[in-house]
Amino acid sequence: MDPPSESLHRNKRQLLFPNSTLLQFNAGIGFPSTTKNVNVNYAFQANFQLPWNRTQIPFDILEANSGYVGTARKKRELGIKDETSYKDDAKLFHFYKLVEGVLNSSGYSGHSCVLQTLCQLGAEPLHSEDEEDLLHEMASFVLNPMNDASHTITEEEEVYSYIKAYKDGQNHKPCTKLYDTCSISLIDLFTRIHDTS
């Protein structure tokens, strides 16, 4: 007589990778500059460490496709946001604060230098002889804090000082006197005077 057959049960498995395995995405674009003998390249690279240990996989991801109720399958109600929901808060002043941090770590007055630069750009906006200059378009957007402006901006908001500096320049106020604690001219590092005559 044959022994009774045991029912086979297979557990679900997670995909684990050898230690230090990376998932890498690369993207880039290159184009000639206006001087024709210099190429400008922009590249983006993202590296993601893949899990090699079960403890690195968030528990609620494992519950998502299992028969158990976990936090990954909670129902969402329309129109109701909580403090954990995603907010698109990428603002230009975050970039300005990053530049300030770099300048501060180099011994300069970062906030004053950024405000002085924005003021100067308000007075003398960037110019390009080529209408299809991508670098000029990007720089013009990033270096204009008015792109962060809202109709209800108040002095308490972090972006206010940057917008005020830019408007000071547009109103032809003396930028170097207003923001005189900056000992370098950032604008001279990446621009040159354009002769319009």
Distance CA 151, CA 153 (A): 6
Q: What is the pLDDT of residue 163?
A: 92
Residue-wise pLDDT tens digits, 36-75: 677 778 888 888 877 777 666 655 544 444 444 444 444 4
Q: Which amino acid is at 106?
A: S
Helices (H), 51-159: 59-64, 92-105, 110-123, 134-142
- The alpha carbons of the chain give a radius of gyration, in whole angstroms, of 27
Q: What is the pLDDT of residue 67?
A: 47
* Alpha-carbon separation of residue 136 from 59, 72, 125, 162, 166 (angstroms): 46, 44, 11, 20, 18
